[in-house]
Structure 1
Amino acid sequence: MSTNTDVSLSSYDEDQGSKFIRKAKEAPFVPIGMAGFAAIVAYGLYKLKNRGNTKMSIHLIHMCVAAQGFVVGAMTLGMVSEDFGYQEGS
């Protein structure tokens, strides 16, 4: 039984922080989508107390749609910017 020893170990030497930074440079709209999603969820939890007459299920549906919409929008912008040749530093 033979094993493949040609695998590069450089990816194993990388810690989580530097891996995230490298991935963020490759696709800058991913962290923007993640941050927007977290911000909308935080805002929804904050407004949960003061939702007035709105049922909780309706409030949660609105927050879910808003968070998903932000992520889809960030992904769409990422795809469009990639198609138009967005490159860091140019």
Structure 2
Amino acid sequence: MAQEKQFVFRDEEEAGNRLSRKAKESPFMLIGIGGLVLACGFAAYKFKHRGQMSTSVFLMQTRVAAQGTVVSALTLGLLYSMFQKHVLHKDD
């Protein structure tokens, strides 16, 4: 059999390397993703016991909760970086 060659461009990153680089650049993004996973996991657990609530309303509430955790984490990260730059005068 002929040996197949795989072409990899020099500027492409592997997924693990890219995730670790992004985690170092903005750790609040990972906190937001963790909150998203927790909100979705909690909603999946509570789906069984939603009572008389319709599925569409339950899923809309789940979406709002998940988006709220991500937006809150990113907002906290932005406020933290602004505090460091303007109050503590730490320029990177």
Query: TM-score by structure 2 length?
Result: 0.74
Aligned to 1:64: 63
Indicate the residue corresponding to 1:73 in structure 2.
72
- 1:55 alignment counterpart: 54
SS of aligned partner of 2:48: coil
Structure 1 runs of 4+ with >4 Å offset: none
> 2:25 matched to which residue of 1?
26
TM-score using structure 1 length = 0.75
RMSD of aligned alpha carbons = 1.5
Q: Distance in 2 between matches of 1:16 and 1:53?
A: 42
**Unaligned stretches of 5+ in structure 1?**
1-8
- Structure 2 alignment gaps of length 5 or more: 1-9, 86-92
The match for 1:36 is: 35
Match in the other structure for 2:81: 82
- 1:18-73: CA deviations, max 9, x gaps? 22111111100001101111111111111111111111111111111100111110
